[in-house]
Amino acid sequence: MGLDLAGVAAWLADFADQVHTNVDLLTDLDRQIGDADHGSNMDRGMQKVAQLDQSDFASPAEMLKKAGMTLVSTVGGASGPLYGTFFLRLAGAWPALDDAAGLGAALRAGLDGIQSRGKAILGDKTMVDALVPAVEAYDKAASEGVASALRAAVEACAAGRDATIPLVARKGRASYLGERSAGHQDPGATSLTMLLEAANRTLV
Ligand code: ADP
Ligand code: MG
């Protein structure tokens, strides 16, 4: 579909569908190491985002900005401001049509936003553990075009998500559990992987 307004609208709608379908999975993961609200938090926000009408926006960046503001104001918890910041930064860096390097730069801007807001680094058992390898893999494959780069990003993202299982959490609510947080997959890394999977289905 490409990186135009229709592509971005399809991406957001696909992610909203994925979150809705997997609301119990995300909540169950958060029950293990948090407060059992990641599914309902994200579903509430993304259902609002899914109601946005692409014809109300003049550009993909405008729609991404509105999505970010909607998430900040409706999701709450740690993930609302973090996902909101991701989309706001993405909006600020969104490229002209079908520019693979530009999409990589936008994803990196989103990651930088999450890290400046949440202060998590690789290995803290958060969504950052999925997004850092995804952005790195994207950049490595960017010269092959958006489709190849997103495919590589999804694979790395899922591996990063799975790699959160043995980690001890050092950020967010899960960190209150200390060593007992080990052995569970991070909910935010799980939803983040759904976001990249949705991008891989809609933006190419
Ligand atoms: P809360 O923890 O406030 O209940 P959610 O349950 O919606 O919020 O989201 C939890 C997820 O947020 C975690 O699984 C983790 O991936 C992510 N998270 C929490 N704190 C941070 C942080 N400082 N930086 C990055 N991600 C974080
Ligand atoms: Mg929670």
| Nearest CA owner, ligand 1 atom 24 | 118
Work out which ligand 1 atom sits closest to the CA atom of 35: 4
How many whole angstroms from 109 Cα to the centroid of ligand 1? 19
Residues near ligand 1 (Cβ within 6 A):
30, 34-35, 37-38, 41, 77-79, 82, 114, 118-120, 126-128, 171-173, 186-189
How many whole angstroms from 188 Cα to the centroid of ligand 2? 9
Q: How many CB atoms lie within 10 A of CB 58?
A: 9
Domains of the chain: total: 1
Q: What percent of the chain has a predicted confidence (pLDDT) above 70?
A: 100
184 alpha carbon, closest ligand: 1
**pLDDT value for 98:** 80
In this prediction, residue 96 has a pLDDT band, given cuts at 50, 70 and 90, of confident
How many whole angstroms from 55 Cα to the centroid of ligand 2? 33
Please give the average per-residue pLDDT across 37-52, as a whole number: 98
pTM: 0.98
Work out which ligand 1 atom sits closest to the CA atom of 192: 16
In this prediction, residue 97 has a pLDDT band, given cuts at 50, 70 and 90, of confident
Determine the structural domain holding residue 84 and report its residue range: 5-202
Please give the average per-residue pLDDT across 166-174, as a whole number: 97
> What CATH number should be reported for the domain holding residue 74?
1.25.40.340
How many whole angstroms from 77 Cα to the centroid of ligand 2? 7
Q: From the centroid of its chain, how far is CA 174? A: 19
Please give the average per-residue pLDDT across 151-158, as a whole number: 98
In this prediction, residue 47 has a pLDDT band, given cuts at 50, 70 and 90, of very high
Calculate the alpha carbon distances from 184 to 7, 49, 134, 144 in Å.
34, 29, 20, 35
Q: How many CB atoms lie within 10 A of CB 13?
A: 17
| Nearest CA owner, ligand 1 atom 9 | 79
Q: Are 202 and 142 in contact (CB under 8 A)?
A: no
**pLDDT value for 154:** 98
40 alpha carbon, closest ligand: 1
**pLDDT value for 184:** 98
**DSSP secondary structure letters along the chain:** --SSHHHHHHHHHHHHHHHHHTHHHHHHHHHHHS-S-HHHHHHHHHHHHHT--GGG-SSHHHHHHHHHHHHHHHT-TTHHHHHHHHHHHHHHHPPSTT-HHHHHHHHHHHHHHHHHHH---TTSSSTHHHHHHHHHHHHHHGGG-HHHHHHHHHHHHHHHHHTTTTPPP-SSGGGGGGGGGTTS--HHHHHHHHHHHHHHHH--
Work out which ligand 1 atom sits closest to the CA atom of 119: 23
**Res 49 pLDDT > 90:** yes
Q: How many CB atoms lie within 10 A of CB 80?
A: 19
**Res 1 pLDDT > 80:** no
